[in-house]
Protein backbone atom coordinates (compact mmCIF):
# COMPACT_ATOMS: atom_id res chain seq x y z
CA UNK A 1 0.00 0.00 0.00
CA UNK A 2 1.41 3.37 -1.01
CA UNK A 3 1.37 6.14 1.61
CA UNK A 4 0.66 9.65 0.49
CA UNK A 5 2.41 12.61 2.02
CA UNK A 6 -0.54 14.55 3.41
CA UNK A 7 1.42 17.67 4.38
CA UNK A 8 0.88 19.47 1.02
CA UNK A 9 -2.86 18.78 1.27
CA UNK A 10 -3.05 20.03 4.84
CA UNK A 11 -1.13 23.19 3.92
CA UNK A 12 -3.40 23.82 0.93
CA UNK A 13 -6.51 23.45 3.07
CA UNK A 14 -5.29 25.25 6.16
CA UNK A 15 -3.42 28.55 5.68
CA UNK A 16 -2.89 28.71 9.44
CA UNK A 17 -0.77 25.54 9.22
CA UNK A 18 1.44 27.25 6.64
CA UNK A 19 1.88 30.23 8.94
CA UNK A 20 2.65 27.96 11.87
CA UNK A 21 5.37 26.16 9.90
CA UNK A 22 6.80 29.44 8.59
CA UNK A 23 7.21 30.78 12.14
CA UNK A 24 8.91 27.64 13.41
CA UNK A 25 12.69 27.75 13.58
CA UNK A 26 14.09 24.72 11.82
CA UNK A 27 16.56 23.07 14.18
CA UNK A 28 18.05 20.44 11.87
CA UNK A 29 19.24 22.54 8.93
CA UNK A 30 22.93 22.31 7.96
CA UNK A 31 23.48 25.93 9.06
CA UNK A 32 21.96 25.33 12.51
CA UNK A 33 23.89 22.09 12.95
CA UNK A 34 27.14 23.84 11.98
CA UNK A 35 26.28 26.57 14.48
CA UNK A 36 25.69 23.98 17.18
CA UNK A 37 29.09 22.44 16.47
CA UNK A 38 30.77 25.86 16.79
CA UNK A 39 28.79 26.55 19.97
CA UNK A 40 29.85 23.28 21.59
CA UNK A 41 33.48 23.88 20.65
CA UNK A 42 33.79 27.54 21.65
CA UNK A 43 30.90 28.57 23.90
CA UNK A 44 29.60 25.62 25.94
CA UNK A 45 32.51 25.62 28.40
CA UNK A 46 31.28 28.92 29.84
CA UNK A 47 27.63 29.19 28.77
CA UNK A 48 26.85 25.48 29.27
CA UNK A 49 25.58 22.88 26.83
CA UNK A 50 22.06 24.21 27.43
CA UNK A 51 23.25 27.86 26.98
CA UNK A 52 21.85 28.91 30.36
CA UNK A 53 25.20 30.31 31.57
CA UNK A 54 26.24 27.45 33.81
CA UNK A 55 29.10 25.77 31.97
CA UNK A 56 31.98 23.97 33.68
CA UNK A 57 34.25 27.03 33.40
CA UNK A 58 31.63 29.55 34.54
CA UNK A 59 32.63 29.52 38.20
CA UNK A 60 36.16 30.64 37.33
CA UNK A 61 34.95 33.87 35.70
CA UNK A 62 34.60 37.25 37.39
CA UNK A 63 31.33 37.93 35.59
CA UNK A 64 28.90 35.01 35.20
CA UNK A 65 28.19 34.09 31.58
CA UNK A 66 24.84 35.22 30.18
CA UNK A 67 21.87 32.92 29.83
CA UNK A 68 21.79 32.83 26.04
CA UNK A 69 18.31 31.28 26.01
CA UNK A 70 16.79 34.61 27.07
CA UNK A 71 18.33 36.85 24.41
CA UNK A 72 15.05 37.30 22.53
CA UNK A 73 13.17 37.86 25.78
CA UNK A 74 15.65 40.59 26.76
CA UNK A 75 15.34 42.25 23.35
CA UNK A 76 11.62 42.78 22.96
CA UNK A 77 10.75 39.23 21.93
CA UNK A 78 12.95 39.16 18.81
CA UNK A 79 16.27 37.36 18.58
CA UNK A 80 18.90 40.13 18.19
CA UNK A 81 21.04 38.52 15.49
CA UNK A 82 23.06 41.64 14.63
CA UNK A 83 23.79 42.36 18.30
CA UNK A 84 24.85 38.77 18.96
CA UNK A 85 27.04 38.68 15.84
CA UNK A 86 28.78 41.88 16.98
CA UNK A 87 29.42 40.48 20.46
CA UNK A 88 30.83 37.24 19.02
CA UNK A 89 33.02 39.01 16.51
CA UNK A 90 34.23 42.06 18.45
CA UNK A 91 33.49 41.23 22.09
CA UNK A 92 31.39 43.08 24.60
CA UNK A 93 32.18 46.75 25.19
CA UNK A 94 34.22 46.81 28.38
CA UNK A 95 33.23 49.44 30.89
CA UNK A 96 35.97 51.08 32.93
CA UNK A 97 37.67 48.40 35.01
CA UNK A 98 34.98 45.90 34.07
CA UNK A 99 35.47 42.27 33.18
CA UNK A 100 36.64 41.13 29.76
CA UNK A 101 36.09 37.42 30.41
CA UNK A 102 34.23 36.88 27.13
CA UNK A 103 36.80 36.17 24.42
CA UNK A 104 36.70 38.13 21.19
CA UNK A 105 36.07 35.33 18.72
CA UNK A 106 36.49 37.30 15.48
CA UNK A 107 40.31 37.08 15.37
CA UNK A 108 40.21 33.42 16.46
CA UNK A 109 37.72 32.55 13.72
CA UNK A 110 39.85 34.52 11.23
CA UNK A 111 42.83 32.31 11.96
CA UNK A 112 40.72 29.15 12.10
CA UNK A 113 39.13 29.96 8.74
CA UNK A 114 42.46 31.01 7.16
CA UNK A 115 41.43 34.68 6.97
CA UNK A 116 38.49 33.84 4.72
CA UNK A 117 36.06 36.65 5.57
CA UNK A 118 33.11 34.86 3.96
CA UNK A 119 33.76 31.75 6.06
CA UNK A 120 34.09 33.80 9.26
CA UNK A 121 30.80 35.60 8.62
CA UNK A 122 29.07 32.31 7.82
CA UNK A 123 30.44 30.70 10.99
CA UNK A 124 29.06 33.57 13.08
CA UNK A 125 25.74 33.55 11.21
CA UNK A 126 25.42 29.78 11.79
CA UNK A 127 26.14 30.29 15.48
CA UNK A 128 23.40 32.93 15.59
CA UNK A 129 21.00 30.55 13.81
CA UNK A 130 21.71 27.92 16.45
CA UNK A 131 21.28 30.34 19.35
CA UNK A 132 17.97 31.49 17.87
CA UNK A 133 16.69 27.91 18.15
CA UNK A 134 17.45 27.88 21.89
CA UNK A 135 15.32 30.86 22.83
CA UNK A 136 12.80 30.38 25.63
CA UNK A 137 9.22 30.56 24.55
CA UNK A 138 6.93 33.02 26.31
CA UNK A 139 4.70 31.22 28.74
Q: Which domains does the chain have, with CATH numbers?
A: 27-133 (1.10.760.10)
pTM reported for the whole predicted model:
0.76
Residue 27, pLDDT score: 73
Burial class (CB in 10 A: 0-12, 13-18, 19+), 54: middle
- Residues 5-45 have pLDDT tens digits of 444 443 344 443 333 344 445 778 999 999 999 999 999 99
* Average confidence (pLDDT) over 70-82: 96
User: Cα dist. 32→15, 69, 89, 96, 132 in Å?
Assistant: 26, 15, 18, 36, 9
Amino acid sequence: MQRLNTLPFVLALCPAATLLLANTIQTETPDVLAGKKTYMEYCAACHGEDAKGIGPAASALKTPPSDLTTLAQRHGGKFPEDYVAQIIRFGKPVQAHGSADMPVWGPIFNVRDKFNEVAVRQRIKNLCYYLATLQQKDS
